[in-house]
Amino acid sequence: MRPQKVNDADLMAGLMSVFRTKGYEGTSLNDLAVATGLQKASLYHRFPGGKKEIAEAVLVYARGWIENNVRQVLEDSNEMPAIRLARALDNIRELYGNGKETCILRALSMDQGLSLFGDGVQQNMEEWISGFYRLGIDLGLEHEDAREKAEDTLIMVQGSLVVGKGVGNDSVFDRAIRHLSRLYLT
Amino acid sequence: MRPQKVNDADLMAGLMSVFRTKGYEGTSLNDLAVATGLQKASLYHRFPGGKKEIAEAVLVYARGWIENNVRQVLEDSNEMPAIRLARALDNIRELYGNGKETCILRALSMDQGLSLFGDGVQQNMEEWISGFYRLGIDLGLEHEDAREKAEDTLIMVQGSLVVGKGVGNDSVFDRAIRHLSRLYLT
DNA sequence: GTCTATAACAGGATAGAC
DNA sequence: GTCTATCCTGTTATAGAC
């Protein structure tokens, strides 16, 4: 067998990058091939299920990222809550390129996306929410309160990404992230 | 000339309905033809520019809706601010089918969408924001405060639509709308 | 103004050589 | 494992009758 031209990590990063900017219907296999440096047929070798399987794999990859960089950071009981929050928000800021990038969950939850990948999207969102929920609990919030605040973090991030892009103003995302700090630390 | 089979208002409503559920790349001219009851060639007769021109027309239609049902309601100086807010939020709730529908602005701001329709999306969002800005000013807020609160209304609505769909829970949107009442009336 | 029919092209997917 | 070449379907768009 020939050697792998692109390793799995780079491959997934490249694939995710395309899907999140162009959406599911908007990305062609050609786009994916160009972005990764592989030919279409090579992508089919790695993902026999084609475009659908690739998008599913991207969602698994994204979920791993959220687990490592958001949930585990927020649940790390060795650190003070304020530190955990600051670190998680830094990671989130980086994930979205300070608001310049869009979210893969939003990109894959249009139309077909929702019916095809609804489960994966939901799992990703719940991973995110459960991390912030735990932070809220550790800060002494009641169950319902912690749940709603956690949900609000995702709402603010998704909303600010949509609006920031729409009005063409990066500061919308920045302000949302700063708002999330205050949401917990007061 | 033959009579119009579908009037402009019904036509635009049907076209918008497809675009906002399937996204720009996700909707085919066939989808639009089926939804409106016209044939593809008839759509080209009304919109010589094809799919792109149709999406642009939908954005103009959406902007008119926002102007009538959000901005003008919020700026109606004959009513108390609390009444204006309640009415605008009711209209917004209806527009999004209590959270079951998605937003045309989000649907048309993926990828191609942003480069093709960025201006239209921005105008729609600014129409929305300017309405709430005026409400904030009338309630005695300072310029910067009113601007941010107005932006937040759009962020919360867009975010709650994304998250509500993603986690499959209608109450997310409901709670966001209730939150917007409290945001101004305290 | 709307229709049927069709052209021209792009996209997803597969075959088979290396 | 990756590549080139190809198939086939669906898509945008146009031509021309009514």
Q: Encode pLDDT of B36-59 as tens digits.
A: 999 999 999 999 999 999 999 999
A105, B166: Cβ pair inside 8 Å?
yes
CA distance A129 to B57: 38
For the stretch B66-105, pLDDT in tens is 999 999 999 999 999 999 999 999 999 999 999 999 999 9
Domain count, chain A: 1
Closest CA to A16 of A69, A44, A70, A55: A55
Task: Output the pLDDT for position A165.
Answer: 97
Residue B22 with chain A: CB contacts under 8 Å:
25, 110-112
Q: Is a pLDDT exceeding 80 seen at residue A113?
A: no
Whole-Å CA distances, B150 to A111, A172, B92 = 29, 12, 14
Task: Name the residue of chain B whose CA is nearest to A121's CA.
Answer: B166
Q: Is a pLDDT exceeding 90 seen at residue B154?
A: yes
Say yes or no: Cβ of B46 under 7 A from any atom of strand C: yes
Whole-Å CA distances, A167 to A107, A178, B21 = 18, 19, 22
> CATH no. for residue B157?
1.10.357.10
Whole-Å CA distances, A10 to A15, A36, A49, A53, A101 = 9, 8, 20, 17, 18
Task: Output the pLDDT for position B2.
Answer: 81
pLDDT band, residue A108 (cuts 50/70/90) = very high
Task: Answer yes or no: is A47 within a domain.
Answer: no
Task: Answer yes or no: is B154 within a domain.
Answer: yes
B154, A159: Cβ pair inside 8 Å?
yes
For the stretch A151-168, pLDDT in tens is 999 999 999 999 999 999
Task: Answer yes or no: is B101 within a domain.
Answer: yes
Task: Output the pLDDT for position B151.
Answer: 98
Closest CA to A98 of A37, A54, A160, A41: A160
pLDDT band, residue A182 (cuts 50/70/90) = very high
Task: Answer yes or no: is B87 within a domain.
Answer: yes
A110, B121: Cβ pair inside 8 Å?
no
Whole-Å CA distances, B139 to A178, B81, B83 = 25, 7, 12
A158, B157: Cβ pair inside 8 Å?
no
- What end-to-end distance do the CA atoms of chain B give, in Å? 59
Closest CA to A56 of A117, A126, A123, A127: A117
pLDDT band, residue A12 (cuts 50/70/90) = very high
For the stretch A64-106, pLDDT in tens is 999 999 999 999 999 999 999 999 999 999 999 999 999 999 9
Domain that holds residue B129: 56-184
pTM: 0.98
Q: Is a pLDDT exceeding 90 seen at residue A2?
A: no
Question: How long is the CA B36 to C1' C3 vector, in angstroms?
Answer: 15
For the stretch A122-146, pLDDT in tens is 999 999 999 999 999 999 999 999 9
User: B86 vs chain A: nearest CA distance in angstroms?
Assistant: 22
Residue A129 with chain B: CB contacts under 8 Å:
167
Task: Answer yes or no: is B48 within a domain.
Answer: no
Say yes or no: Cβ of A42 under 7 A from any atom of strand D: yes
The reply to whether A121 touches chain B by the CB within 8 Å rule is yes
Task: Answer yes or no: is A130 within a domain.
Answer: yes
A114, B165: Cβ pair inside 8 Å?
yes
Residue of A22, A154, A160 lying closest to B163 (CB–CB): A154
Question: How long is the CA A106 to C1' C3 vector, in angstroms?
Answer: 39
Task: Answer yes or no: is B170 within a domain.
Answer: yes
Task: Answer yes or no: is B27 within a domain.
Answer: no
